[in-house]
Structure 1
Amino acid sequence: MLGTMSRLWQTVRPIRIRLFLGLLSAMTASIVALMIPQVLEFIVNRLGSDATAITIWTGGAIVLGLGIVEATLIWLRRTFAVAPSTTVEKQIRVSFYEKVQHLPVTFHDGWGSGQLLSRMMSDINQIRRWIAFGMIMAVTNAVTIIVGMTLLIRSSAVLALIFFVAAVPVTVIAYRFNRSFSVLSRLSQDQNGDLATTIEQSVQGIRVLKAFGRGPTALQGFTEQAEELRRTEVRKATAIARFDMFMFMLPEAALGVALLVGLHLTASGNITTGQLASYFATATLVVGPVRMLGMLLGQAVNASTALDRHYEVMDTENTIVSPADPVPVDPAAATGAVYLSDVHFRYADAPDHVGDVLDGVDLDIRPGETMALVGVTGSGKSTLLQLVPRLYDIDSGTIMIDGVDIRDMDLATLRTLTAVAFEDATLFSDSVRDNVLLGADPALSAQEAEDLLHLALRTADATYAYELPDGVDTRIGEEGMSLSGGQRQRLALARAIAAKPAVLLLDDPLSALDTKTEETVTARLREVLE
């Protein structure tokens, strides 16, 4: 756990000054609180001798002043720590999103979207809570216990020894709790991710579930997953409750024994009444952090588990990156010649006995030429198209555009040269305009963007968009499900056209269209390509 937590330092470095001030405020508040019992000792010892009203009022004023200082320092702790921790939370979340965006498609093929979502949301929340509260309180409580135990020894070494003896089983129990709770915490957070994946799949596939009447079956499966998570959470709560029981019982037992011994020592004159009062006031302050140990350990384990899950993604190597010294390519001068030589490819999860999806493919497509790939289902047509923009990397062979190996190009430049219209049209919950112009040159003027939008919609026979309630500014809903399959495909095709690529890759983007509309789109597309 300590190794994982140490990696958090690089993340909190931008706020290290404010975090340090928060820690300093918290530790100072703890020390100020421990000074109050010392004043109490002074007052109690004076009560039985030459105490005057001025002495008592002065002591009371000091206690009041210390209380005000402690409250102010606690306010400063929260001010210094909470706001910066939300900044770190945002930075972690943004860097995670950026990493997910850059990781290759092969990574996403093996990960459930819910697992990524739970890491981005709930796990990062756990990390933020640890930075803002848990980490500061852990350090503060450690200072309270160390300084408090020192003061206990000063009051009475014999009574302090009772607390030291009680600390032995506390340490053993805490160690065992940490080991067992780590397993439960990991299981719980993984189950949360699985549950999020199920929810997302059910929402996206709600039409299929309703059409086939499989809602009850889906509900049963979800209920079983939710029950597994509930059982895990109950086990976590039980573990914390059992641990807290010992954290309350052992210090209370130590206080009880200390009371009996302390009364005997006071009666025999070995310690003063003020020392006894100071001892118990200090011990009460020390017991508080001990009682919090269960909560802080649980929070630390949850944060450590969240960090482990976070770094599982962040440490994943991105295998599809731009070369260190890319070949310069001018997209404006590209002609779109595509050349494939002896291309081999197989998916990473393919069984050993299954051959390559693409086994020695050779293609030579000249500028302005249109080539159709025909083959049985599963023959690798879609796979081949995805290799050109390097959504996947070939295992061997060569793919070149205008005589330059695509692996020698800057990745952003390569994907400026290419655009893909997939059969499974994916649209975003945004306006028609923003969906279609997603890949367009951002430097276009407003009028140029409008002209390009109209050209793309007309070519894809998607001018129906102008008749939507808000025209091309109509938001089309998540996944574009407010549109028909054919309408979604035409918008996806318009998006590829609007990118004005040198190489246009069409993965059967007209499969949902009727014959007449397909002929219209094909004819207009041919005009644009010419």
Structure 2
Amino acid sequence: MSNLWRLREYLRPYAGRMAAMLVLAVFASLAALATPRMIQAVIDGPVTRADDDGLWWLAAAILALGVAEAFLVWLRRYIQATVALGVEADMRRDIYAHVQKLHAGFHDRFQTGQLLSRATGDLGRIRRFAAWGMIFLVINVFTYVAVIAQLLQIYWPLGLVVAASAVPLFFLSRSFARGYIRASRAEQDQAGEVANTAEETAQGIRVVKAFGRSRHVIERFEGEAAKLRDISVGKVRMLSKSWSMFDAIPNLVLAAVLIGGSIAVAAGAMTIGELVAFVTLQLMLVWPIEALGWIIANGNEAMTAADRIFDVLDTEPAIVDRPGATDLDRADAKGHLRFEGVRFGYEGTGKEILTGLDLDVRPGETLAIAGVTGCGKTTLLSLAPRLYDVTEGRVTIDGRDVRDLTLSSLRRNVATAFEDPTLFSMSVRENLTLGREDATEADIEEALQVAQAEFVYDLPWGLDTRIGEQGLSLSGGQRQRLALARAVIVKPAVLILDDPLSALDVHTEELVERALASVLKGTTALVAVHRPSTVALADRVALLQDGTIVAVGTHSELLESTPAYRAVLSAEADTVGAAA
């Protein structure tokens, strides 16, 4: 219940509207509660005395009460909807903003489908609780207490019978709530698995089709969907069983009231008007009691949804600005990059990838990192922009620990182009200026020339052409060139290149390397070498082996002095040749 109680943080800004909503609900309930007593007055007064004039006045009063109740209910529900939708929008905004702050390690282990499920389905459950469940609980409790009070006033022996029905309802609801909360959590977790399976398949649709595995992924999805169906059917079975009991109890009590009331009328203890008012009031309890099952179910679903959402919101960002962190001004940045005694291992693996690594990249120098596949080149490159933080040691820019710099200024000065480029469902221009919104047309043109990405001008709407999801409407080489242009346009102090030319043909790669060479003259660059041709970009080469740098020198020096370097280049050349 604690996480559901924490929703008050999001309800607080709507306190005024919620107060108005409760006031409207109370007055609407009072109008509804007054109607049975008006009916009693009609039967025991004008009907009994055959007073037509009095009948019309009372009928007009009943009509006025009905109209007033309808208006109050409409206004209350409108306010309810605005509050619920506002809470949902606020929570969705906070979840999205918080996810952006979480470090890359969180996203490495947390399934995207589970995040989507929390940001959609779980928020929908909380919205329904905020819109209907919470207010109906208050209204129904008020209605129940007010009706019982009137029943006791009209004829207390039967009033006690109706009040006593609350005892079995209490034990029934408690038993139902215990089982339903477990079923709700299981259903919501499985809904996340279904969303994750669908999301993975949609992203990898080309691979699925290329390998002819459509039947396999369909069966996998059907299996997850079948689990969700079975869990949901079990939950519905539990709900329907309890709901039937919530229905049966008030109907049994109503039968007892009709029998007891008839006897009381025959004995002169009640008038016919009082019996009609009593039964009408009791019928007003049928909906609150029937709705009790729905309210409990809705509350339990909201509770588990809140638990799942706060699982994410309570995850502390591992990479944040240190207290006293300062900005790194681009005009002052020289780009002197150093790795000092760096050790690093991914969360949960218990294995170190980098083991006491030292490396010095001089300002304006282009240094290539060579090593066998899986030796940690990409990991090393991820430490400079703080996609991950070192386990031990430190990474510095111009002598300042990157952890002492604000993240925003660090990432303005350190730009990265990845081997596997990510493009977004937005225009070419928006993708290119993602890291520098104030880029001019001249900046864009220069970056496109460097990356040999002028093909964008031939797209249907040029720079304003929208790229499909993940940029799959473009070839692998085109995506890489756009990603490289996006990094170049920032004009950073340090440029990280994780083999961004791997998908290019030899001719295009040569053109890009020539253009990059001129751009990199004033920029410090760290380049992961996954194939020998990329070495041409580098002033020096560092060989990464067993988690540390074992040799640094020019390409020629390492070829001559370091057998391990020759072996790495030979292996990479063989891999490229086999791929070709």
* Structure 2 partner of 1:304: 303
* Structure 1 partner of 2:402: 406
C-alpha displacement of 1:50: 3.7
Q: Does 1:359 align with 2:355?
A: yes
Matched-pair contact (CA < 8 Å) for 2:47–2:55: no
Q: 1:423 aligns with which of 419, 426, 429?
A: 419
* Structure 2 partner of 1:180: 179
Q: d(CA) in 2 for partners of 1:27 and 1:357? A: 65
RMSD: 1.3
Matched-pair contact (CA < 8 Å) for 1:149–1:286: no
1:21 corresponds to which letter in structure 2? A
Q: d(CA) in 1 for partners of 2:219 and 2:363? A: 55
Q: d(CA) in 2 for partners of 1:121 and 1:529? A: 44
Deviates more, 1:323-332 or 1:484-493: 323-332
* Structure 1 partner of 2:131: 132
Matched-pair contact (CA < 8 Å) for 2:46–2:54: no
1:193 corresponds to which letter in structure 2? G
* Structure 2 partner of 1:266: 265
Superposition pairs of residues 113-152 of structure 1, within 5 angstroms: 113-152=112-151
* Structure 2 partner of 1:256: 255
2:86 corresponds to which letter in structure 1? T
Superposition pairs of residues 424-503 of structure 1, within 5 angstroms: 424-440=420-436, 442-444=437-439, 449-503=440-494
Gaps of 5+ in 2: 522-580
Q: d(CA) in 2 for partners of 1:31 and 1:324? A: 57
* Structure 2 partner of 1:283: 282
Measured against aligned partners, the alpha-carbon deviations of 1:60-80 in whole angstroms (never above 9, x if no partner) come to 121111111101110110222
* Structure 2 partner of 1:12: 11
Q: 1:513 aligns with which of 504, 524, 530?
A: 504
Matched-pair contact (CA < 8 Å) for 2:345–2:354: yes
Matched-pair contact (CA < 8 Å) for 1:265–1:271: yes
Matched-pair contact (CA < 8 Å) for 1:465–1:471: yes
C-alpha displacement of 1:189: 1.0
TM value normalised by structure 2: 0.88
Q: d(CA) in 2 for partners of 1:469 and 1:8? A: 48
Matched-pair contact (CA < 8 Å) for 1:343–1:398: yes
C-alpha displacement of 1:306: 1.2
SS at match of 1:360: strand
C-alpha displacement of 1:328: 3.9
1:517 corresponds to which letter in structure 2? T
1:116 corresponds to which letter in structure 2? L
Deviates more, 1:180-189 or 1:463-472: 463-472
* Structure 2 partner of 1:393: 389
* Structure 2 partner of 1:368: 364
2:73 corresponds to which letter in structure 1? I
SS at match of 1:510: coil
C-alpha displacement of 1:470: 1.5
SS at match of 2:346: coil
Q: Does 1:106 align with 2:105?
A: yes
Deviates more, 1:46-55 or 1:499-508: 46-55
C-alpha displacement of 1:420: 0.7
TM value normalised by structure 1: 0.96
Q: d(CA) in 1 for partners of 2:197 and 2:333? A: 44
* Structure 2 partner of 1:92: 91
1:107 corresponds to which letter in structure 2? F
- The count of corresponding residues between Structure 1 and Structure 2 is 521
SS at match of 2:484: helix
Q: d(CA) in 1 for partners of 2:207 and 2:161? A: 67
* Structure 1 partner of 2:52: 53
C-alpha displacement of 1:51: 4.9
Q: d(CA) in 1 for partners of 2:382 and 2:286? A: 63
1:180 corresponds to which letter in structure 2? G
Q: d(CA) in 2 for partners of 1:518 and 1:347? A: 33
Matched-pair contact (CA < 8 Å) for 2:427–2:467: yes
1:126 corresponds to which letter in structure 2? R
Q: d(CA) in 2 for partners of 1:516 and 1:99? A: 44
C-alpha displacement of 1:157: 1.3
2:508 corresponds to which letter in structure 1? T
2:58 corresponds to which letter in structure 1? G
* Structure 1 partner of 2:157: 158
SS at match of 1:373: strand
Q: d(CA) in 2 for partners of 1:522 and 1:50? A: 105
2:44 corresponds to which letter in structure 1? N
**Identity between Structure 1 and Structure 2 (%):** 42
1:54 corresponds to which letter in structure 2? D
SS at match of 1:391: coil
Q: d(CA) in 2 for partners of 1:476 and 1:131? A: 38
* Structure 2 partner of 1:43: 42
Superposition pairs of residues 56-71 of structure 1, within 5 angstroms: 56-71=55-70
Q: d(CA) in 1 for partners of 2:218 and 2:396? A: 50
SS at match of 1:331: coil
Measured against aligned partners, the alpha-carbon deviations of 1:6-41 in whole angstroms (never above 9, x if no partner) come to 211110111111122112212221121011111122
Measured against aligned partners, the alpha-carbon deviations of 1:358-384 in whole angstroms (never above 9, x if no partner) come to 000101111001111111111111001
Q: d(CA) in 2 for partners of 1:50 and 1:465? A: 90
Matched-pair contact (CA < 8 Å) for 1:195–1:225: yes
C-alpha displacement of 1:229: 0.6
Q: d(CA) in 2 for partners of 1:287 and 1:218? A: 48
C-alpha displacement of 1:443: 3.7
Q: d(CA) in 1 for partners of 2:212 and 2:218? A: 11
Gaps of 5+ in 1: none
* Structure 1 partner of 2:514: 523
Superposition pairs of residues 175-324 of structure 1, within 5 angstroms: 175-324=174-323
1:251 corresponds to which letter in structure 2? P
* Structure 1 partner of 2:546: none
C-alpha displacement of 1:405: 0.5
Q: d(CA) in 1 for partners of 2:490 and 2:191? A: 39
Measured against aligned partners, the alpha-carbon deviations of 1:255-297 in whole angstroms (never above 9, x if no partner) come to 0011111111111122222221111011011121111111121
